[in-house]
Chains A and B, each alone.
Chain A
Amino acid sequence: MTQISLLPVAPDASDLMHRAVKGRSLWDDALRRLLRNRAAVASMIVLVLLVLAALIGPLLDPFAYDEINKNDVWAPPLTAGHLLGADSLGRDLLVRLFVGLRVSLSIGAVATFVSLVIGVVWGAVAGYLGGVVDEVMMRIVDVLYSLPYIFFVILLVVTFGSNVILIFVAIGAVEWLTMARIVRAQTLSLKQKEFIEAARAAGLTQSAIIARHIIPNLLGPVVVYVTLTIPGVILAESFLSFLGLGVQPPMASLGTLISNGAADMELAPWLLIFPSIAMVTALMCFNFIGDGLRDAIDPQDR
């Protein structure tokens, strides 16, 4: 009997094993799913373009955002060198749109960051410590949740005058509540999961468990919620600006542009239409990306 050599097979097997070990991480998987979502990918491209326009647009435009041109009052689009026309003071709409986009997007980013920090810390502490601390912390969230917060933002702005920093803080400070609830719920359920127990049994340290297992699993819902908070914040700011309580002239945000456009819409409809398109485009992009991320990160939902 000849001995069957296992040798020719062995390299293959080790090769297979090697490949299996390399594998795909959860995040690679999510990224692949996200990139297959056409609406989300298109939205990301549009959003990058919008951000670029907000950053470098004002540099390319021959006009300044607060430059008053007496001869160009209510110039329609494509006249007198104004690509999108000019407003009641002859200010170029395109450059004001770039600046407005810049203001609205940065308010969205900063206020969301404020809400992210407060919300994640609050929720994680409550969820991780549990017991009385959790009870008290979440009761506070419940109480704040029932406040008619937009009224408080209005009161705040009326009280302390409108400056951009205040708007950042006011909006960010009310948007953290949902984040805190999401993070707490997630932390609570994670604490009891078998893989956390397994990690503990395997001798991982507390900090390693948090870094390797809790945070990556928190990250998914948090990222999704962040992409949905940004448009909410942009909306809230525009809402205030529309009531005349937000960004003050000659500065512009998408809200003030729409508000001014609505006032002049009979004479100069382009002043209403272009800012509205910009705003709706930005909001839709965030929503599509948020939806796409949720589908990609949480495959249970599919």
Chain B
Amino acid sequence: MKLSQVMLRFLLRRLAVAIPTLFVVVTLAFFMMRAAPGSPFSTDRKLPPEIERNIEKKFHFDEPLYVQYGRYLDGVVHGDFGPSLKYRDKTVLDVLEENYRPSLTIGGAAFVLSVILGVSLGVVAAMRQNRAFDHTAMTVAIAGVCIPSFVTAPLLQLALASKLGWLPTGGWDGGAWPNLIMPVAVLALPQVAIISRLTRAGMIEVLHANYIRTARAKGLPEPTIILRHALRAAVLPLVSYLGPACAGLLTGSLIVETIFGLPGLGKFFVTSALQRDYTVVMGLVIVYAALILALNLAADILYAVLDPRVRLA
């Protein structure tokens, strides 16, 4: 079979899992939200019943639940996520569009930073196995795994913002870079730790392989051996970790956005859930689920590209 055909079949197989997954996500989220006590329209003062009924009618809340569910599914399939129930005259897509930027910026920056830093640390630690650098790096890595972001974030704020005054405590400020340093660092730290441990383990194993000995015997320069021959095989376990890593960054940004007061999607999710803004919550859940699925798929494809032994079946 030709490569393109193999790839196509692989993609179809994955779609066959992804679509039911999304369906389960939508269904679960829909009925869980609706089972919640409280309503998006409850306000501090009591509305006259006629007005309440009018609002409910406008958003079809007077229909039976399964009809609403069907209507919602139909909308989603056609790319319509409905109107926000809390923000007047805005659709869910408007809300998403206004708030995605901070999440994407810190998430993307943290991802790039943690891959570059983590892989470099892991490679150097493996080359200096059991020496001082290795021990230091791996101790720091274990600490990085164990110190949760809601501990590092306030401590950094206390030290760098309150005491030293070097960086702003929080806020978005149009994406000014001093506002980004702490969120990105906090988000990246645990990922740097995990990625460097994975890279080190993979590298140590690969460096004992026969083909590396062959490369050395041929007299290839050490940087070529490490970067061209060893690294490619050593990062394989890392690649399959990248899917879950992205999920980790997405959920991590929930905390980071809350602590640093960034107007991103994670913070928005919690607020909307508490306010019972059903449609916005649903939209966010779907976006997150789709992102995780897409990133996992991308990681699998990358894996197959790097490792010719893997068949995409």
Give A residues with C-beta under 8 Å from B: 139, 142-144, 146-148, 150-152, 154-156, 158-160, 231, 235, 238-239, 242-243, 255, 258-259, 261-262, 265-266, 269, 272-273, 276, 279-280, 283-284, 287-288
Contact = CB atoms under 8 A, between A and B. Distances in A.
A143 B32 CA distance: 18
Contacts of B148: 235, 238-239, 279, 283
A147 B273 contact: no
A135 to B, nearest CB: 12
A137 B275 CA distance: 36
A285 B269 CA distance: 33
B158 A139 contact: no
A287 to B, nearest CB: 6
B154 A239 contact: no
A243 B266 CA distance: 11
Nearest to A291: B142
A150 B250 CA distance: 10
Interface in B222-269: 247, 250-251, 254-255, 258-259, 269
A287 B21 contact: no
Interface residues of B, number: 45
A243 B247 contact: no
B17 A143 contact: yes
Contact of A146 (B21, B254, B273, B274): B21
A148 B157 contact: no
B24 interface: yes
B162 interface: yes
B25 interface: yes
Nearest to A151: B285
Contacts, number: 112
B255 A239 contact: yes
B146 A283 contact: yes
Given A150-B251, A243-B258, A280 B274 contact: no
11 contacts: A146-B18, A148-B288, A151-B288, A154-B269, A154-B273, A159-B36, A239-B148, A243-B270, A261-B154, A262-B259, A280-B143
Contact of A143 (B21, B258, B288): B21
Given A147-B289, A155-B281, A265-B154, A231 B146 contact: yes
A37 to B, nearest CB: 14
Contacts of B247: 148
Interface residues of B: mostly helix, strand, loop or mixed? helix
Contact of A266 (B17, B153, B162, B292): B162
A38 to B, nearest CB: 13
For the complex of A and B, 3 pairs with smallest distance between CB atoms: A262-B154, A159-B36, A283-B146
A266 B158 contact: yes
Contact of B296 (A146, A258, A261, A272): A146
A81 to B, nearest CB: 26
B36 to A, nearest CB: 4
B150 A147 contact: no
A150 B150 CA distance: 15
Contacts of B151: 258, 276, 279-280
Contacts of A258: 150-151, 154
A151 B26 CA distance: 12
A242 B293 contact: no
B207 to A, nearest CB: 16
A272 B154 contact: yes
B62 to A, nearest CB: 22
A242 to B, nearest CB: 5
Contacts of A146: 17-18, 21, 289, 292-293, 296
Contacts of A276: 147, 151, 155
Contacts of B154: 258, 261-262, 265, 272
B35 interface: yes
A243 B145 contact: no
A75 B147 CA distance: 27
Contacts of B292: 146, 148
Contact of A155 (B20, B32, B143): B32
A146 B246 CA distance: 12
B17 A142 contact: yes
A259 B254 CA distance: 14
